[in-house]
Structures are given as structure tokens and as C-alpha cells.
Structure 1
Amino acid sequence: MTAPLLGITGATGAIGGAVAAALADLRPRLLVRDPAKAVDLGGGVRRCVYGDPHAAEALVGVDVLLLVSGHESATRRAEHRAMVEAAAAAGVAHVVYLSFVGAAPDATFTLARDHADTEAALAASGLAITLLRDNFYADLLPHFADDAGVLRGPAGTGRVAAVGRADVADVAAAVLRAPHEHVGAVYELSGPEALTMDEIAARAGAVLGRDLRFEDETVEEAYASRRAAYPGTPDWQLDAWVSTYTAIADGSFARVSDDVERITGRPARTLETILRA
């Protein structure tokens, strides 16, 4: 039986690149914005830009596609829907989509609504699907701090079960090694514990050797501080930044899941392990 051809989008990025490296023995096709930045692993390298009307050409022959969510933008919903249509038109059988925990049309975190839209498009496409709903990335949260080491936003004492990008890549690679076993599955990828922003600041600062602290804001203060720091930022981006914290405050991202361990066979990495790596 011929092994399915895997297609990996975002294969020069942090997650797509890690998945591609883990699956090099399967000779995946790498689907990237700039082919010059990718090294062919045996399945070819194709230029594939979300929203490009020629995207389907790059997908012809691919059986199982890892669809890494695109960059945040005002047009991401349309770009994702175009990619789903391209996958269907190219004859892709199965899409593994990197979604977001709590994806829903009315999610507090506004970008999770974008992911809900993509999930709806996939559900209507007739394709077999697997959803990997990631929590916030633990390795990125400390970098929300400003030059003074302050993480600020209206998160209160809410908790977030942030996950390491390496764990997300490991889960995606495991799913793609046996995709037929995961058709229709929805996995929620979290870290091993839910932490407050105060705890994240203290523990991340200890590892990074930096004095980090969390400063709670009201929603009004959060919008004002971001408008002042980044004048001209569009409303959709401001909403995304502020709702990152309001979603933590209301518990949207507090659930700890064991899906990373169930799929990879080992516990999810702690914040300290992630940052030391």
C-alpha cells in the first residue's frame, strides 16, 4: 500500500518547520510562501500562499494536509476559506487544522472566532478533518512584556493553560504519521497546568534572568495603552490584543487537557522546560 503524500503548510515557520523535520522520513511536500527558504525533503517544495487563486495547483497529489493557521490579519477568514476550497479542488482527502481552544463564533478571544469560521468551512467541505485546538503558546507569553518587563492587560487572576509550540508540533507529527486513526477527532492542546499572569511573569522571569511582573488593567486602560504605544493600529488588531487578556480573565483558556500526553505518550512540557529550550 502506498503511503499517503503529506503536505505541510508553513513549513519554514516554527511549528510547520518542526513538523516537517520530524516527518522527514515520510518525504512530505513543503508548502511555503518562499520556496528559496525551504529544503526539499523528498516530496517537493511548492509556493503556496493563502488566498492565492493558484494555491490548488500546489496541492495536487497531496493526500493529507496540515493546515497551519495563517498570520493574523483582517482577511484571514477569507484566506483560510480559500485554502479549504483549494484543498477540496485539488483532491486532498484529509485536512489536519491548527485551530484554537474555545473556537466559537462568540468566543471572547476575537481571533478564536476566525478559527471557528475555518472549522465551519472545513465541516462543510466534505473533507475528512482533524482539529488541533491549541491554547496560547507558553514560549511567547513572556515576550508580551514591554521594555520595562511589564506584562499588562485585563486578565485579573484568570488562568491560562498555555502550551509549548514544541508540544503542538509533536502532536501534529504523531497525528500525521497515522492520520486515519484521527479522522473526526478534536484535540485540545494545553500545558500541564493553568497559571495566572502573575505566576507566568514570576516563573518566566526566573528562567530568563529578567525581572518580569504583571500589571492588571481595566479594558478601557488596555485599549488606551495600546493606542498610545501603537498609533494607527486597526480596531480588529486592538480587539485581538485586549481580548487575549479578557479571555484569560473569564476562564476561556484555563482548562488543562491530557491530549498532548495521550497522543505523544509523554506529559506536556512545563513553562520552565519550554523556556530553557
Structure 2
Amino acid sequence: MTNAPELAVTGSTGHLGGLVARLLARAGSQQRLLVRDAARAPELDGAVPFVTTYADREQAKAALAGATTLFMVSAAEAEDRLEQHYAFVDAAAAAGVRHIVYTSFFGAAPDATFTLGRDHFATEERIKASGMDYTFLRDNFYLDFLPLLAGDDGVIRGPAGDGVMAAVARADIARSAVAVLRDPVLHVGRTYDLTGPEDISLARGAELLTAGTGRTITFHNETLEEAYASRASYGAPPWQVDAWVSTYTAIAAGELAGPTSAVHELTGREPLSLEQFLAEAHTL
């Protein structure tokens, strides 16, 4: 398409990508929205839908032709997610994209305890090798997920021990991403560890959830054996169960600890704490 926006945004039908797309539209940015189904693309001023998937290299290359900056939200969890990422990164480079902004994970490393953190690291390496400029947004655990961890009985179960995490609100990640996308040249080659303002344990998180939601929430520290047994009934494949359990063991290992100033550096505002997040969520 001639005169298509040079900024391409993925994930606009999801939570994080949708927030980013809306914030960009409010700021007056033109964008092409890369979606699987054009009918599901949000209707935003200055936004044009382009249909593609991560796995279809040629389709992605066509959808990205003429784009200079790409916001790449990591694909939905799947056994072949890394292969999807590789195909999409390669397509972006072939299409002439100059700068890719990728949502990675806090502590991404080849030996990360959180199994999917290893895939994020491998994706970063593929992007670095592509020749494109890059910015990595390494998101900590989402504050938004914390209320969802409790079962119907109000218990959060997992082998996290007394470990802590600097969990971050999805809204703060979106605001940070928009700051980068609005002036990407300032962020070339940068990796930002995006966190909330404090370290919290799941036991403390349960206390704050109880106070903030009116629902009684507690934390039960499972053993590894208990963690795998309690998730067996879901019938999920082994890689998925490993990912679920290793979310907690990564917390226990201290790999999600350590608040940073990155959100403030990018947005000019302090990130939301869990208490603030819950208060905002209940005033919407």
C-alpha cells in the first residue's frame, strides 16, 4: 500500500499491543496494525490494518514493506513460538525495517530459570544478528496477572518461597513503549528493565490483594512435586507446565527482584505499585 504508515505495531487485538496502539493514536501517530484478522483490528485514527502472522515469512515481509520502525509484542505462548519469532524477525529485516522494539522478559538469559525467558533471550540474539537497530523492553511479571493467580478458594499456589519480584503494571509498559516508539533514535541499542516501584513477595501480594479487592487471598508455598501435581489436571503439554511452574521458581531464585528507574526514565512518571494498580482498577 502506498503511503502506508512507517510505524508498524503488532498485538493490537491483545492487551499490551492494544494499549500501545491506543496511546499512539491519541498522540497523533500514524501506524499500521499487523493483525491476523483485519475485522478485529481496533478502529483508531491514523491506523491501517495489515493482515499477517508471525510464522508466514512472505506474508509478513509484504505487510512490513515500507515500514521503518516495528513494535514486536512476543507471540502467544506456543511450543513453536521461538520459530515464529525467528521467521518474523527475518521477514522484518528482509522488508527493510530499520528499528525493532521487542517486548522481552526481565532477566532473559540462555539459562533463565523461567523457561520462556530463554526463548526471549534467543529472540533478542536473532534481532541483534539481523542488522536492524533494536530496543529491548524487558518486562517484569505483570501486576495485572497477580489477582488471577488465586484459585476459586482464594489461594495462590506455587513454589516461590520468600522470593520477591518487582512486578510492573501493563499500563506502565505500554507508556514506556510509546515513549520509545515516538522517538526511537534516542533508544537505539538500549535494553530497559521495566519494573514496578518495589519488590513484593507472593505472601505480601496476597495481603495487598485482600486489602485491595475485599476477597480473602492467601499464599501457599508448594514444593516442586506439589506444583506439578496440582497442575496435572489441566492436561497441558509438558513445556507449558514447565513454564507455569518456573514462573514461581524464578521468583524463588531471585531472578525477578530489583526495581529499576526505567519506567520513570522513559515516561517521566513513577510506575504503579500494586496498591495503586488495584485502586485504579476499582475506580474504572
1:257 alignment partner, one of 256, 260, 264 = 260
The yes-or-no answer on 1:52 pairing with 2:59 is: no
2:100 maps to what in 1? 95
1:182 maps to what in 2? 187
Between the aligned partners of 2:6 and 2:277, the Cα distance in structure 1 is: 31
| Counterpart AA for 2:75 | G
Between the aligned partners of 1:275 and 1:78, the Cα distance in structure 2 is: 36
2:220 alignment partner, one of 215, 233, 236 = 215
Between the aligned partners of 1:127 and 1:178, the Cα distance in structure 2 is: 16
Q: Give TM-score, length-normalised by structure 2.
A: 0.94
SS at match of 2:144: coil
| Alignment map for 1:192-231 (pairs within 5 Å) | 192-227=197-232, 229-230=233-234
Q: 253-262 vs 35-44, which deviates more?
A: 35-44
SS at match of 1:44: strand
Task: Report deviation, 1:205.
Answer: 2.1
| Counterpart AA for 1:91 | G
Runs ≥4 residues deviating over 4 A: none
1:164 maps to what in 2? 169
1:22 maps to what in 2? 23
SS at match of 2:71: strand
Task: Report deviation, 1:138.
Answer: 0.6
Between the aligned partners of 2:239 and 2:136, the Cα distance in structure 1 is: 25
1:238 maps to what in 2? 241
Equivalent pair of 2:32/2:50 in contact (CA under 8 Å)? yes
2:78 alignment partner, one of 57, 73, 77 = 73
Task: Report deviation, 1:43.
Answer: 4.2
Q: 198-207 vs 37-46, which deviates more?
A: 37-46
Once the two structures are superposed, residues 28-64 of structure 1 have per-residue CA deviations (whole angstroms, 9 ceiling, x without a partner) of: 1111122111225324111121101311111111110
1:247 maps to what in 2? 250
2:128 maps to what in 1? 123
| Pairwise CA RMSD | 1.4
1:133 alignment partner, one of 118, 135, 138 = 138
Q: Which runs of 5+ in 2 are unaligned?
A: none
Q: Identity percentage over the alignment?
A: 53
Task: Report deviation, 1:273.
Answer: 1.8
Once the two structures are superposed, residues 162-197 of structure 1 have per-residue CA deviations (whole angstroms, 9 ceiling, x without a partner) of: 000000000000001100000000000000000010
Task: Report deviation, 1:271.
Answer: 0.7
Equivalent pair of 1:11/1:31 in contact (CA under 8 Å)? yes
2:113 maps to what in 1? 108
Between the aligned partners of 2:32 and 2:72, the Cα distance in structure 1 is: 12
Equivalent pair of 1:142/1:151 in contact (CA under 8 Å)? no
2:150 maps to what in 1? 145
Q: 46-55 vs 73-82, which deviates more?
A: 46-55
